[in-house]
A and B are shown apart, each in its own frame.
Chain A
């Protein structure tokens, strides 16, 4: 690669550009912080107990609900205790979402995107009984039926959405040892994940079948409260998020077209880094594509998986780009021929590939299977949890290897830079300018990347630390998690936008460049081409006619200013 816009831009223009981009960054942050609500909301539903008729227990079309005409009449704990068999095998735990508030029946809106349900179980044993410490990994068998109803349907118009008999393993701790009863509260168990919140109302019926021959659910004492927490994305957050995506999308697409046209105007085939930049832009465009609008009309349960994949592709592309960028700025080329991913970087990138594939497999195992069975979760079985952990550890190890390798490459580049620096004064001017250009480009990207990464990490930590919102004063409150999400999203967009602008080939070199093989980066070529123009360089034109300046001259000027 030869002269890019970055080297040719005057300090003033560069600072204006950087300032504009920083302003956009602050706007992205404030958009999330000031306007967006928390990313996710939740509804905590306490299960109502309904008693059911044995005759209909296997009829999955039969659904019990707790509000509306024809609702079941809930039984109380006292009635259950008084019953001679404690209503064993007759109880249904009913959860109807969302709950009414402010004298209104609320309903889910499609803006709320997805629904994740977790269940908290509390049970107790008589303190007198010998079983004080319940075994770890207590197996619970749950018959789950999820149903939905739309606005305008009759109160009993529930339709079955999914049915499954699932096992969950409970990890419980003694929460309270009383004189008569010991209470245990258990870690929450994931219950279901819906990738599309398409309907207005949801209903969950849970049964805990007791069966002596198969030893099913017998170790549980008295079931106390069952609490379902249904987490959804907040509608306001979706709107802000989509607004951000819709705004960023045309800009990135536009700059990509501009970039590609610029590359094609050159009399050469695009260099590897230019390919990488355009791939990176494409990955970002895929991420920016506001597909979520479709989910307002169509039921798209694969949205969760798709958004994971989109993010995965983007991150994989970004990591690859950094590695290739470092490799292309080695200054000392091993092979003079044009580098491609296949020829030079496949070994370097194996860590990225392994990490991404293992995360992809994990995601397919979790969210992919959930497309078929929303009650499925890989974490619920000990074996599944181990497999999932393996994939995640593999991904983590690859990430670590990747970063170590990247650091090694960057260190090598800096060492090379140091080597070249010492020999720079003895070089011919053109050659020196070429190297100084490479060094400048590399350092600029290093700085920008480090700043972005540091901001991401800092934002993430602050988002985790902050509870609730930060109150600036009485009128202004910042929502840190949303601000973090929109801020980071906007930041990587701006980062790539800036890369596409600044690393686009500069047209200022056209008049000077006659060599189509400039891109091969063969040092001899550069030296030759520069040597033929050396006389021109010595007479520096003034600022007023920049069109005549080649990339290298402008760079000399910059150096002179420094």
Chain B
């Protein structure tokens, strides 16, 4: 994997997009997830619309930030993938949460409002899941769209350096075609990661804790996509022997990623308001045993120092936003070759992180470059795949429109279950109603090739329990 190329590409993308970043949008409250407005494109255009969705569309204009619009404009076909990705995230979220009090409901999209409602304003567990799943879905869906051939700007990264070391991408696509003929193209997955970083993380500069939480969760979503990739190989040497072997990465089904994220949701870490930056000078390399009770004392050491660095970093963030993304971009790519990483909670992972840090010493500002501390010092610090949140979730029982909570009135529940989907918990003790309905479905289909399908209509009785 040629990292230097990714740098070049990002540099190009950022040179065009970076200028808009220095513009500070004063309107938005700092507590809010600033980068989350783009979720609205899920409702802007249905992905299967015959007319292609244009980036000039006013609805899109109001949904996307300037840099995001530029990315969409520069990458034809990416908008369809983003719409698909956002819808994928919503349907996966609703699937994962169908049995919980909060069922990932979305509001009818209207301008300037958040798609998931005001729940996003709180830094609770549910919000962390939304951020992670949307960022994962964008990664997944962009990578898929590249393999489907619907995005034309997916990059062809394998260029053998001794062949064309000077071939920067300004020289354009002639070099790209030659690279393709010479050495083929890389997997599309790297492009998905790169694009997701640039698109999803646009508004999050990591300046306050909430933005750090969002960044962390976005990264966690992507890390889950990455961790579920599998390598496949095919031998095709002489008579099919393994003297020549070709390997490639395969994306997992998004359901798998959704399930994993849901498991992380259940074990999410609440992080503290005081956070220590893992800046270079404060870096007592994250030793594996810092995970345990040790962390209390080390916190005390780090905080005063890091406060200083923090301010420094904030200033830099505003001035030059570019390089920090560039630096970090090498990370998903370089990890692609190790799809079976140990779980991030495990200690070796912590060590690995430390190692990565050490390698990047000297590159001071990096918005992905922070460590959040658990609220309860007895707990382990969150790993790269863990979800983090800031405040406890509301109960979601009663309707509270000011907080964007719909309540569980009218929700279906499971009478026999003792879990959250059981009628006792779901209806918050208000009681429930029993209804019998007749469902008509096609069943017992017979097929004939070619080209006939005959089905019967079956009526089945179903009992439905609904919360009062």
Contact = CB atoms under 8 A, between A and B. Distances in A.
A384 to B, nearest CB: 13
Contacts of B244: 39-40, 481, 485
Interface string B427-463: 0000000000000001001111111110100000000
A295 to B, nearest CB: 15
B234 A66 contact: no
Most buried by A among B47, B239, B451: B239
A101 B248 contact: no
Interface stretch (A3-11, A173-181, A420-428): A173-181
A79 B47 CA distance: 11
B78 to A, nearest CB: 12
Contacts of B149: 45, 48, 66-67, 96, 99-100
A354 to B, nearest CB: 16
B154 interface: yes
A396 to B, nearest CB: 11
Contacts of A118: 234
Interface string B179-192: 01111110110000
A44 B248 contact: yes
A362 B76 contact: no
Nearest to A477: B161
Q: What's the dominant secondary structure at chain A's contact region?
A: mixed
B245 A464 contact: yes
B236 A106 contact: no
A147 interface: no
19 contacts: A38-B183, A41-B158, A42-B246, A43-B185, A46-B147, A46-B148, A54-B450, A66-B148, A67-B149, A102-B155, A103-B153, A104-B176, A175-B256, A183-B255, A216-B449, A231-B246, A464-B242, A467-B247, A481-B245
Interface of A: 34-46, 48, 54, 57-58, 66-67, 73-76, 79, 84-85, 88-90, 96, 98-106, 109, 111-112, 116, 118, 120, 122, 175-176, 178, 180-181, 183, 188, 209-213, 216, 218, 224-225, 227, 229, 231-232, 234-237, 239, 307-308, 311, 359, 362-363, 366-367, 460, 463-464, 467-468, 475, 477, 479, 481, 485
Contact of A212 (B76, B248, B447): B447
Contact of B451 (A34, A54, A96, A479): A54
Contacts of A43: 184-185
A85 B239 contact: no
User: Which 4 residue pairs are nearest across A and B when measured between Cβ atoms?
Assistant: A41-B184, A37-B183, A210-B447, A236-B182
B61 interface: no
B1 interface: yes
Contacts of A224: 253
A103 B239 CA distance: 37
B156 A101 contact: yes
A75 B176 contact: no
Given A57-B450, A102-B176, A464-B245, A176 B337 contact: no
B246 A308 contact: no
Interface string B248-268: 101011011001000000000
A100 B95 CA distance: 34
B28 interface: no
Interface centre among B153, B188, B236 (most CB of A within 10 A): B236
A101 B250 CA distance: 19
Contacts of B449: 89, 209-211, 216
Interface residues on B, range: 35 or more
A236 B234 contact: no
Given A46-B148, A467-B337, A481-B244, A85 B48 contact: no
Contact of B238 (A75, A101, A311): A311
Contacts of A235: 181-183
B259 A100 contact: no
B239 A104 contact: no
B160 interface: yes
B173 A45 contact: no
B177 A104 contact: yes
B236 to A, nearest CB: 5
A34 B162 contact: yes
Contacts of A211: 447-449
B27 interface: no
Contacts of B453: 85, 88-89, 210
A247 B1 CA distance: 31
B155 A75 contact: no
A85 B455 contact: yes
A236 B160 contact: yes
Contact of A44 (B84, B95, B147): B147
Contact of A48 (B148, B187, B243, B452): B148
Contacts of A460: 243
A213 B232 contact: no
B89 to A, nearest CB: 14
A199 B456 CA distance: 47
Contacts of B250: 44, 120, 227
Given A116-B236, A234-B183, A460-B243, 12 more contacts: A35-B163, A36-B160, A74-B48, A76-B84, A101-B152, A102-B153, A102-B169, A104-B176, A211-B449, A234-B182, A366-B240, A467-B337
Most chain B CB within 10 A, of A216, A225, A308, A463, is at: A225
Contacts of A236: 160, 163, 181-183
Nearest to B240: A366
Interface-centre pick from A35, A98, A176, A468 (highest chain B CB count, 10 A)? A176
Contacts of B47: 76
Contacts of B446: 212
Given A45-B149, A73-B50, A485-B244, A35 B162 contact: yes
A275 B245 CA distance: 37
Contact of B177 (A38, A106, A188): A106
A115 to B, nearest CB: 11
Given A99-B147, A100-B152, A468 B337 contact: yes
A90 B337 CA distance: 38
Given A37-B182, A99-B146, A100-B152, A88 B236 contact: no
Contacts of B155: 101-102
B248 A308 contact: no
Nearest to A122: B253
A513 B453 CA distance: 91
A38 B158 contact: yes
B144 interface: yes
Contacts of B247: 467
Contact of B234 (A103, A229, A307, A479): A229
A57 B452 CA distance: 12
A176 B246 contact: no
Given A66-B148, A235-B182, A103 B76 contact: yes
Nearest to A35: B162
Nearest to B156: A101
B246 A79 contact: no
Contacts of B50: 73
Contacts of A85: 442, 445, 453, 455
Contacts of B253: 122, 175-176, 183, 224-225
A40 B242 contact: no
Nearest to A52: B451
Contact of A218 (B84, B236, B447): B447
Contact of A89 (B147, B185, B240, B451): B451
A46 B239 contact: no
Nearest to B77: A100
Contacts of B188: 44, 99
B236 A188 contact: no
Given A35-B162, A188-B234, A218-B447, A178 B255 contact: yes
Interface centre among A39, A102, A307 (most CB of B within 10 A): A102
Given A178-B259, A467-B337, A308 B447 contact: no
A381 B158 CA distance: 36
B236 A231 contact: yes
A157 B169 CA distance: 32
Looking at A40, A99, A231, A477, the one whose CB has the most chain B CB atoms below 10 A away is A99
Contact of B448 (A34, A90, A122, A212): A212
